[in-house]
Homo-oligomer: A and B are copies of this chain.
Amino acid sequence: MTMAGTMLPKLAVAFGLAIMPIAASADPLPSWKDAASKAAIIAFVESVTDENSDTFVPEKDRIAVFDNDGTLWAEQPLYFQGLYALDVLREKAAADPSILSSDVLKAANAGDVKGVLAAGVEGLVEVVNISHGKITPEDFKAKSHQWVTTATHPTSGRTYAEMTYQPMLELLSYLRDEDFTTWIVSGGGIDFIRSFSDEAYGIPSWQVVGTEGKTTYGVAADGTPTITKNGGVTFVDDKEGKPVGIMRHIGQRPIFAAGNSDGDFAMLEWTTAGDGPRFGMLVHHDDAAREFAYDREGHIGVLIKGLDEGPKRGWTIVSMKDDWKQVFPD
């Protein structure tokens, strides 16, 4: 925790982000308007860090988990990892068209996202395997890091690294300043997120929980040991998989969980059902002008149950439009 904290300024400069440590007297969440959501976050953090309070939580139990897509950075018009997979596929197909050996790969190469989605999970895995299979985790991370920091988003023109949410960067930093450990728990691929989590969020590779593919260990003829991503999926860290992934990687129940879609419902449910003080929050994408507006409909980030049941469960619904002064970093 301290490590991530001390490295943060250096990395933040490298990434061009404004997530410097905050003096105790300063506003810890300057990009948040003085709305109910900001007050609720600060009240919760103060209640669990006050040693004289009944609601005090020791440092080792201050575990905060965050979904990534749509919670820490944008996810429209398609999960960025999906855009990455399509870019790599097109790059490889340009060099060797024979890799387009199926209808779903041809659809992907033509930019026909609906055609890919129509092929279901198997079709998606087939597309993803082109970029995510037969590669070492190190090479994969180097390649995806390069893409995240240089390729640009189709509508904003920003690099994907610049599509993180400034208020959430401040929230991560605030929680760490208060001796929380901050974790990503994402339906996205674990190695993809690890390629930028430290630079973008100050979150080290081992505090990323995500969907996992098959990897194997082998030793080459010259004695060099190698771990290889073989493609395919062995664990899906989404929906009911999120609490399972949390218990597998973290080994204890968080006290703070943030998400934005019904894929995060089980994670918030599990987190907030524990004893003692708990915080659940959902980022509501209601800002068509500055980001995107979507919730109950669409193919990504669908939020129905969370909107209907979240407030009854005491979860905080954060309106991007009304609660945030700024969406993306300067």
Which of chain B's residues has its CB closest to A250's CB?
A: B206
Q: Does A244 contact B (CB under 8 A)?
A: yes
17 A-B pairs with C-beta separation under 8 A: A3-B59, A7-B60, A137-B247, A190-B248, A194-B251, A204-B251, A205-B250, A206-B251, A212-B248, A216-B244, A217-B240, A217-B270, A225-B243, A225-B266, A225-B269, A227-B244, A227-B247
Complex Cα–Cα for A59 and B4 (A):
10
Taking a contact as CB atoms closer than 8 A, the residue among B3, B207, B215 that contacts A244 in the complex is B215
The residues of A with any CB-CB pair to B shorter than 8 Å are: 1-3, 6-7, 59-60, 137, 179, 181, 190-191, 194, 198, 204-208, 212, 215-219, 224-225, 227, 240-241, 243-244, 247-252, 266, 269-270, 273
Complex Cα–Cα for A281 and B310 (A):
51
Known interface pairs A60-B3, A225-B243. Does A215 touch B179 (Cβ–Cβ under 8 Å)?
no
Chain B residues positioned under 8 Å from A3 (CB to CB): 1-2, 59-60, 179, 181
The copy count of this chain in the complex is 2
- The answer to whether B59 and A7 touch across the interface, beta carbons within 8 angstroms, is yes
Chain B residues positioned under 8 Å from A227 (CB to CB): 243-244, 247, 270
Which of chain B's residues has its CB closest to A5's CB?
A: B2
Which of chain B's residues has its CB closest to A207's CB?
A: B206
Which of chain B's residues has its CB closest to A58's CB?
A: B7
Complex Cα–Cα for A226 and B216 (A):
32
- The answer to whether A243 and B269 touch across the interface, beta carbons within 8 angstroms, is no
The 6 residue pairs across chains A and B that have the minimum distance between CB atoms = A205-B251, A2-B2, A217-B240, A217-B243, A206-B250, A194-B251
Give chain B nearest CB distance to A310 CB in angstroms.
Answer: 14
- The answer to whether B247 and A249 touch across the interface, beta carbons within 8 angstroms, is no
Chain B residues positioned under 8 Å from A243 (CB to CB): 217, 225, 227
- Give chain A's interface secondary structure class: helix
Give chain B nearest CB distance to A276 CB in angstroms.
Answer: 14
Known interface pairs A2-B2, A59-B7, A227-B270. Does A249 touch B137 (Cβ–Cβ under 8 Å)?
no
Give chain B nearest CB distance to A297 CB in angstroms.
Answer: 25
Chain B residues positioned under 8 Å from A273 (CB to CB): 224-225
Q: A6-B59, A60-B204, A190-B251 are in contact. List 16 more A-B contacts (CB 8 A).
A: A2-B2, A3-B179, A3-B181, A137-B247, A191-B251, A194-B251, A205-B250, A205-B252, A215-B247, A217-B240, A217-B243, A225-B269, A225-B270, A225-B273, A227-B243, A227-B247
Complex Cα–Cα for A218 and B227 (A):
34
Give chain B nearest CB distance to A244 CB in angstroms.
Answer: 5
Chain B residues positioned under 8 Å from A266 (CB to CB): 217, 225
Complex Cα–Cα for A250 and B6 (A):
19
Which of chain B's residues has its CB closest to A242's CB?
A: B217
Complex Cα–Cα for A3 and B2 (A):
8
Chain B residues positioned under 8 Å from A198 (CB to CB): 60
Complex Cα–Cα for A247 and B247 (A):
17
Complex Cα–Cα for A249 and B246 (A):
11
Chain B residues positioned under 8 Å from A204 (CB to CB): 60, 251
Which of chain B's residues has its CB closest to A137's CB?
A: B247
Complex Cα–Cα for A123 and B47 (A):
50
Complex Cα–Cα for A247 and B249 (A):
12
